């Protein structure tokens, strides 16, 4: 949430956003209130999808957030070629690592990626992986043994497949 606010403070307004592993939808709801954006919230757990659908109604952001049952960026309702200005993934290290390539492929030129749900060691590893993908660390947060990263795409890797 703090890294999302960093973007707001820098007056960066991502137009297309995807929240991968939305859980209760808390990050999507916050982003819908902060940015004039179109937001997609996905989760591979049907109960989380139902919970998010309920919560966007309660929080009056239903017109800005679409919610789908999907594993990562793959799902019937998702355009596999869609480009997002911001991808947020507060999931665990293993799924993040597995999804990293698809995140880069679907990140718009100069798009942002917020990754969290990582312990400090994993945060360090992910920083190294991010470099290989042409991502730059813009900011980060550490709390107890938890870390999160705000990354920006700097190199266009068209050859990813």
Ligand X SMILES: C[S@@+](CC[C@H](N)C(=O)[O-])C[C@H]1O[C@@H](n2cnc3c(N)ncnc32)[C@H](O)[C@@H]1O
Q: Does 20 bind ligand X (CB under 6 A)?
A: yes
- Asked if 95 interacts with ligand X (CB under 6 A), we say yes
Q: Determine which residue in the list 43, 86, 112, 123 makes contact with ligand X, applying CB under 6 A.
A: 43
C-alpha–C-alpha distance, residues 85 and 110, integer Å: 8
Contacts of 56 (CB under 8 A, 6+ apart): 25, 28, 29, 32, 41, 62, 65, 67
Question: Does residue 4 touch ligand X according to CB under 6 A?
Answer: no
For the chain, how long is the longest CA-to-CA vector? Answer: 43
Task: Specify the residue, 129 or 156, whose C-beta has the smaller distance to ligand X.
Answer: 129
The length of the chain is 161
Q: Residue 27, interface with ligand X (CB under 6 A)?
A: yes
Q: Which residue has the tokens 């690592």?
A: 97
Question: Near ligand X by CB under 6 A, which window of 23-31, 104-112, 125-133, 144-152?
Answer: 23-31
Contact range with ligand X by CB under 6 A, out of 32-40, 88-96, 103-111, 130-138: 88-96
Span 106-125, contacts to ligand X by CB under 6 A: 117
By CB under 6 A, tell whether 90 contacts ligand X.
yes
Determine contact, residues 121/94, Cβ cutoff 8 Å.
Answer: no
Any contact of residue 147 with ligand X (CB under 6 A)?
Answer: no
- Cβ closer to ligand X: 22 or 100? 22
The neighbouring-strand residues paired with 114 are 88, 150
22 binds ligand X (CB under 6 A): yes
Binding region for ligand X (CB under 6 A): 20-24, 26-27, 42-45, 48, 71-72, 90-91, 95, 117
């Amino acid at each position: 949430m703090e890294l999302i606010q960093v973007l707001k403070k820098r007056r960066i307004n991502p137009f297309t956003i995807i929240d991968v592993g939305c859980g209760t939808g808390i990050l999507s709801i916050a982003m819908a209130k902060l940015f004039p954006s179109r937001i997609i919230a996905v989760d591979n757990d049907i109960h989380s999808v139902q919970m998010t659908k309920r919560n966007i109604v309660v929080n009056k952001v239903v017109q800005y957030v679409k919610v789908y049952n999907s594993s990562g960026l793959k799902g019937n309702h998702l355009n596999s070629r869609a480009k997002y200005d911001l991808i947020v993934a507060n999931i665990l290290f293993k799924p993040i690592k597995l999804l990293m390539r698809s995140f880069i492929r679907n990140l718009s030129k100069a798009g942002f990626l917020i990754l969290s749900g990582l312990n400090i060691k994993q945060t360090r590893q992910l920083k190294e992986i991010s470099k290989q993908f042409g991502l730059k660390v813009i900011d980060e947060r550490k709390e107890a043994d938890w870390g999160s990263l705000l990354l920006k795409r700097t190199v266009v890797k068209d050859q990813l497949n």
